[in-house]
């Protein structure tokens, strides 16, 4: 979908000005209170920043995915909880919309416009890839009875709905997985435990959810039985991993900016830090790291937008590269600050803490590497098989002509 470039650049400027001004005020309040105020959510909603990427027919602004990432890049320079609000609200509709029926589609529209908050509810303490889900449902008539536990569920305490994934009792792997839109309304047997005390990303609520024979109507299911992981992995996780990669780029840019400002300001032994070769090396390495990761993120975004066959592998690859880059950049940025950077009064301290969360958000790099390796090996095997089947068939060997018996004269000539 095309967008007016002047309007888009104006929107970028508007977001950048907010991040550097009111966004920093909100960040200080979040750090002080350990909570994201409802007023902040409403401000972001009213600005339309929670519905940037969704199509116009759902109530969004219809900004194409690669261009939306340019906006998320800017937002990610702010507090991690502010980024999280924008990121999650601009992504959950992708999982729901392709599978929603007419009634559910109205809920999707409310999620897009920020009227309701939907929490993506896949992660479990004893399962790591999605295919090994242990939360189960048992169907009795028009009701599923849900049992199991979820943890590390972002917005799982304050959300209006959980987009929850489980499996039919007795099934394994992808078979029997289901996606359910479960209302967070005090359902029988549902316990919500606030688990929000974290190293970074302070203010964003995280939940442990325990379900014991919790009744959920079958009408709450998105798609068919067996499509649960299709909803989770293709609809949300694939583009979300690219978004997390871009958020790593944005936060790295903020770390680099803080490091440069400090290096230009700080003097030791009569010289600015920025004049010292070792500091210049750090800054140059950070610049190259950020630029390389940013380029791969946009390649992954275009692959997703175009439905390319390697979109999944590029999505995971972009996250691998970007979060490793973020670790290196923030570490060097903190080192440039010296001991000063370790104190909470300096913004780099918060940036350093927030950066660590992206190492496991939407799957650890260990999982991403498994995804990439599986895709690369499968592509190689398919290419080799295609080449083998296309090779011309060699003709059947013919019987060799009998060797003539040498005559005595011939033997003599030989």
Q: How is residue 201 annotated by DSSP?
A: S
Rounded Cα distance, 286 and 336, in Å: 12
Closest by CA to 347, choosing from 247, 249, 259, is 259
Report the C-alpha gap between 330 and 253 in whole angstroms: 9
Instruction: Annotate 136-187 with three-state secondary structure.
Output: EEEEECCEEEEEEEEEEEECCCCCCEEEEEEEECCCCCCCCEEEEEEECCCC
HSE on the CB side for 38, CA within 13 Å? 5
Q: What does the chain come to in residues? A: 414
Token couple for 78: 């702010």
Which two tokens mark 196?
């929000």
Q: For residues 205 and 34, what is the distance between their CA atoms, to the nearest angstrom?
A: 9
β partners of residue 124: 127
Looking at the annotation, which residues are catalytic?
A: 362
> CB neighbours (10 Å) of residue 37?
13
Contact 374, 366 (CB under 8 A): no
Pairing of strands 143-154, 136-140: antiparallel
Q: What is the CA 197 to chain-centroid distance, rounded?
A: 22
Write out the H or E segment, with its range, that includes residue 82.
Answer: helix 80-89
- C-alpha span between 206 and 215 (Å, rounded): 23
């Amino acid at each position: 979908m095309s967008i007016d470039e002047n309007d888009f650049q104006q929107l970028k400027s508007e977001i950048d000005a907010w991040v550097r001004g009111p966004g920093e005020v909100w960040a200080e309040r979040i750090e002080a209170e350990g909570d994201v105020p409802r007023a902040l959510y409403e401000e972001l909603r009213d600005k339309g920043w929670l519905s940037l990427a969704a199509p116009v027919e759902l109530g969004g602004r219809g900004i194409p995915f690669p261009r939306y990432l340019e906006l998320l890049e800017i937002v990610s320079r702010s507090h991690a909880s502010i980024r999280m609000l924008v990121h999650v609200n601009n992504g959950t509709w992708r999982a729901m919309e392709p599978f929603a029926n007419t009634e559910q589609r109205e809920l999707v529209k409310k999620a897009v416009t920020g009227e309701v908050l939907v929490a993506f509810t896949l992660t479990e303490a004893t399962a790591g890839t999605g295919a090994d889900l242990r939360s189960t449902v048992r169907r009795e008539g028009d009701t599923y009875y849900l049992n199991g536990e979820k943890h590390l569920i972002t917005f799982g305490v304050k959300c209006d709905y959980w987009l929850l994934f489980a499996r039919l009792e007795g099934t394994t792997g992808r078979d029997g997985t289901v996606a359910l839109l479960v209302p967070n309304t005090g359902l029988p047997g549902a316990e919500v435990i606030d688990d929000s005390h974290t190293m970074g990303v302070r203010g964003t609520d995280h939940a442990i959810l325990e379900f014991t024979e919790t009744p959920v109507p079958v009408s709450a299911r998105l798609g068919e039985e067996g499509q649960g992981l299709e909803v989770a992995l293709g609809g949300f996780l694939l583009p979300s991993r690219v978004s997390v990669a871009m958020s790593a780029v944005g936060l790295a840019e903020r770390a680099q900016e803080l490091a440069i400002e400090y290096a230009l300001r700080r003097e030791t032994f009569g010289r600015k830090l920025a004049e010292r070769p070792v500091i210049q090396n750090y800054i140059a390495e950070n610049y190259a790291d950020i630029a390389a990761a940013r380029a791969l993120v946009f390649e992954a975004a275009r692959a997703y937008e175009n439905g390319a066959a390697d979109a999944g592998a590029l999505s995971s690859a972009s996250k691998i590269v970007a979060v490793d880059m973020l670790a290196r950049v923030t570490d060097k940025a903190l080192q440039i600050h010296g001991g000063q950077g370790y104190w909470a009064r300096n913004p780099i301290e918060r940036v350093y803490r927030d950066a660590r969360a992206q190492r496991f958000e939407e799957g650890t790099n260990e999982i991403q590497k498994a995804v990439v390796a599986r895709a690369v090996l499968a592509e190689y095997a398919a290419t080799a098989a295609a080449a083998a089947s296309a090779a011309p068939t060699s003709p059947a060997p013919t019987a060799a002509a009998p060797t003539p018996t040498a005559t005595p004269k011939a033997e003599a000539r030989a």
